[in-house]
Structure 1
């Protein structure tokens, strides 16, 4: 939490007052008449201004001089850090040769104002008003040899909660390992740092440099381990290294280091850039959200630190003068399902290429899973990836063809190859020969006949695909409160481009989340807008043609055919409600070689799922087994089908 930095003397900021205070608190020189009350009040105001500025050099005191009083004031107040007070005169009661003065001190502490009165007396000596110095001039309860000390109290960070209020990110025990410079001789510090670095597996040279450059009382942290993941070699070996400390602590962490990591983000020490951009909020050593949702909603999660002002004597005995309680952060409530997210990540853990799995509830749009495999290397491919959707896009193309006048039983030609404006298109390598020739649209969908779809370019206008996509939640942006890509269906520049778009190639792009929304919209019978954060309201976009009941029924029937007779046969024996599905591959080039993305989307009951593998053999062969296993696990957990 933000901490108040070490104070520098405030005398340096008093230049504007210096000239005015140089005259001290004197009455008008040469005035033979006794000073009046107005002069006492003016002297009191000058004293208040000098105390506010932290510069008493120009003030006359009865038993000391101004510079000594300034040094004493600095000593009393330096523990307040850079917190600047204001001091005002609230009452002056003038006597014959003295005046009782009440001053009000006000300090901004945390998000409150600490205000209190101080009473002092000005004495007229040789026509000059003189003040009396003591620590009680700063606070009425301060005694000799007592000073003020301000410290912050960290606020408890808000949890990130998932479905049913289960904690996704909460304070979990950790152990911090580092070198305590006060416990190791300077000549041995570097060697000890090197031993610790090798033991815990971090780069040796940079850590040695940090330890050697640190002060002789510093604790230089090397690494933080989760308490339940502490390696045995570290636990058994750290005590043999001089100066090493293992400190128990708690940090806001997810159940595992991998759990929704690209989405949730991390919490750690603030960077130099963060301090530079928001110096009033962050100080060196503070912890804050560094990425993902932890960074975007840091202010909500972080809460407000508290503060306490103490009177401290030379023996370090303390008593409390003022306190502002810390205000804990507010939780961030998500729709993620803890068990389903972990199951998805378990299934993706063994997939070597980049991969993602997204699952949502068609009835509400609630995102239950936003999972990325280790091959994504920390990139949130699940909700923000931008890839050609391949034949899964034929769900959209089928809706556009239905709107053009076709029905699921309309006959289409499905040759092995077809040509559009000189560009040849063909079916995938193991396309079944039994589904070649004159077939119904439903058969073309079930077996994913490219040539049948490509041949329909003449039936569609430039905006028909985009309109159908929008009705299913693809290609229309929304602010969901986190990075989300809904896809793109730009107007085709030619019939060749339209032909490629019809089979999910061309310039059509989608994320796994967007494709989960597409099949979820079919399952629900109306457009589904994904939803992750309970505090962010989402709604269907304006100006989008709604999916009709007849269209939804036709699409569901054709996608059910994918399972019963086509490439999604692996889902045919799922327990529970009948599943609908669509598989797909999309070609792309990398390193001079033609490769394929592997896709599969499916819906069962109140669960819609998209699986994407950046490089795979086929949708049914690569993505299909992952999706099938996930649906079976979801059924066992009691979600979806």
Structure 2
């Protein structure tokens, strides 16, 4: 079909309407794009893409960047809330942009937020909107030449308390000792730094280098010393070195440098790595927990630091306060450690020639009263985390498995001098009494620590029963002490010689001093004990064993362990004053040269104790006297 072109003649009114529509296409631009660019520029602090009325974008970017530089590590978000053309404004035409700024000050849900308003004006010549710049667009009240900064307020750190709310760790006086460069001629900086380093026994070249690198008015700390009667660096020695300054202060400290150090931990200045990982919750120079309970309960103990955000002039004078948050002091951490018992335990191990541990547990509630590690130079948490073969102290567990299989303390068992299991020869310890060989009651086998009886017993009851008995005595459970801890490991799949060796605490079974103290505590308590160190905040409840220890089982074990002290391997403990003592000794060879760990577990009254010595001549001979001293002196 061909198209027919038609000429249309419009009336005059139509032409007038078209003219009106054409005029609409030349309407003034809206301020929306400029307002959105303003929000973007405030977010980036780069005003290069924004038209400014009477101001240079580069200068504005620099000045505002410097004004907010002290807060640059704090996340900030700027959004455009609205833009409205001002009614009645004609020459020039103006509009108001409302912006919202939100600062994520800390890890809490509370942010610092506010709104600001910027005035936009229409430039008739360029037919575009421009910003009337003011520093108040970024922060209310901010003027040219001023800056905004945050000042932190430290929260008081909580104490670590012990049994009956004894103060284990609290603020104690210290001296922060260093070189005050401002008070010393530059020519003497290096000499004084090296003299001070030698006095306080730190690396002299490294400290001198730190002093040289610091600012000309800096105080460069060398060391923090306890300011008590035991301080060996005297005031006279410090005064004799030019430029030395000793600033008094306080630091959370225990009663002595080594008191329960591996457990309680230490507090010190946050490293750059700690500050970075905290995502703003920890600042440079802040005191934080570096190890042990101090680190594990950092949030509880440290509380929440306060802060203020203010505007300052170029001379660092505060002009106005914008925001203030009060510090919230930390809470004290309550533990079960007993000050006197811990001190006693540490004194008994201080001169140990090898790694050692003493753990005391209160059977009635599982409270860990002492957890000491020796020798004094050993920084490891041997008491709660050491993993060692428990030797013959494990026979208490094997005895429980045998009782559950139908034996009784009076059941006659065979104790030969030697025994072969799958071709591997086992024998009793050197010096085993010949009078206790042959057919003897199970109770006598435990009293004299007959290896061959419990090797046979383990192979008969099987690994699963052995593992179950360990759990019933608190050894093979997941610990819930409120601190890093290990109780024991008793596999339920061992067979052959491994299973037999497990029965006498060798093989692949492992235990800590805490775990073996828990075994003694469970027997004394008449029920499975769940040891704990932290009271408040309360740790999660420990899982219960499949078959908790019964009163009848505990009574039978207790009677057998009393014979160990009455006439068996621990008869020397019978001389300790006070009530009846139950116990078990143990020796665990750990290499081909027959070097051995020495163990003793015991309980008297409402106190159970385990002592471990890494290199000993025998449980009764090496660990026994330590247990005797502890039970005697802790009464």
Q: TM-score range by the shorter chain?
A: 0.7 to 0.9
The answer to whether the 8 A contact 1:354-1:376 is kept is no
Are 1:482 and 2:483 counterparts?
yes
Q: 1:233 to 1:161 in 2, by over 3 A?
A: closer
2:43 corresponds to which of 52, 55, 60: 52
The residue number in structure 2 matching 1:79 is 70
Deviations 1:231-277 (A, max 9, x none): 34343222332332222222222222212211222222334544554
Q: 1:419 to 1:128 in 2, by over 3 A?
A: closer
Distance 1:240 1:34 in 2: 84
Distance 1:325 1:124 in 2: 46
- Aligned ranges for residues 326-475 of structure 1 at < 5 Å? 326-374=327-375, 377-456=378-457, 459-475=460-476
Distance 1:61 1:570 in 2: 94
Give unpaired runs (5+ residues) of structure 2: 1-22
The residue number in structure 1 matching 2:552 is 550
**Number of residue pairs matched?**
601
Distance 1:320 1:574 in 2: 69
The residue number in structure 1 matching 2:307 is 307
- Per the TM alignment, residue 596 of structure 1 is displaced from its structure 2 partner at its CA by 1.7
Deviations 1:210-249 (A, max 9, x none): 2233333433322111122663434322233233222222
Distance 2:24 2:154 in 1: 57
The residue number in structure 1 matching 2:112 is 114
The answer to whether the 8 A contact 1:119-1:140 is kept is no
The residue number in structure 2 matching 1:25 is none
The answer to whether the 8 A contact 1:386-1:487 is kept is yes
SS in 1 for 2:616: coil
Q: 1:98 to 1:226 in 2, by over 3 A?
A: farther
- Per the TM alignment, residue 562 of structure 1 is displaced from its structure 2 partner at its CA by 1.5
The answer to whether the 8 A contact 2:463-2:495 is kept is no
- Per the TM alignment, residue 442 of structure 1 is displaced from its structure 2 partner at its CA by 1.6
The residue number in structure 2 matching 1:253 is 253
The residue number in structure 2 matching 1:8 is none
The residue number in structure 2 matching 1:70 is 61
Give unpaired runs (5+ residues) of structure 1: 1-29, 636-641
The answer to whether the 8 A contact 2:478-2:542 is kept is no
TM-score by length of 2: 0.86
SS in 2 for 1:602: strand
Q: 1:491 to 1:60 in 2, by over 3 A?
A: closer
Distance 2:598 2:559 in 1: 23
The residue number in structure 1 matching 2:539 is 536
Q: 1:48 to 1:397 in 2, by over 3 A?
A: closer
Distance 2:80 2:259 in 1: 55
RMSD over aligned Cα, in angstroms? 2.9
Distance 2:620 2:350 in 1: 19
Distance 2:277 2:250 in 1: 27
Deviations 1:77-114 (A, max 9, x none): 22323333525445645122253635444333334322
Deviations 1:174-217 (A, max 9, x none): 21112233333444322222111101011222222222333334
- Aligned ranges for residues 580-595 of structure 1 at < 5 Å? 580-589=582-591, 593-595=593-595
Distance 2:599 2:434 in 1: 23
Q: 1:230 to 1:144 in 2, by over 3 A?
A: farther
Greater CA drift, 377-386 or 159-168: 159-168
SS in 2 for 1:369: strand
Distance 1:386 1:145 in 2: 64
Distance 1:434 1:281 in 2: 69
Deviations 1:251-304 (A, max 9, x none): 222222212211222222334544554554455444322222222332333333
Distance 1:286 1:568 in 2: 52
SS in 2 for 1:73: helix
Distance 1:588 1:105 in 2: 66
Distance 2:600 2:324 in 1: 58
Distance 1:46 1:454 in 2: 83
TM-score by length of 1: 0.85
The residue number in structure 1 matching 2:3 is none
